[in-house]
Amino acid sequence: MSAGTIGSKLLGVNFHDFIEKESRNNVLELAAEFGLSVGQVKQLKKQLERN
């Protein structure tokens, strides 16, 4: 697995899809869409804000 692949996926989530859907969906909808817990979605959002 390359560094680019690792960087674009965390918790099995494609960041491009996540960022696109983040603007249109709330935390609960994102969790259901990506099969994550609400806490994991919040963690991903926090990580994206730092980058």
**Residue 32: beta bridge partners?**
none
> Which pLDDT value is given to residue 30?
95
Task: Tell me if the pTM is above 0.75.
Answer: no
- Give CA separation, 3 vs 7, 16, 25, 32, in Å: 6, 16, 29, 27
> Which pLDDT value is given to residue 14?
83
**Residue 9: beta bridge partners?**
14
What's the distance, Cα to Cα, between the start and end of the chain in Å?
22
Q: Which amino acid makes up residue 38?
A: V
1-51 pLDDT, tens digit each: 333 444 456 667 888 889 899 989 999 999 999 999 999 999 888 888 876
Handedness of CA 37, 43, 48, 51 (dihedral sign): negative
> Which pLDDT value is given to residue 3?
38
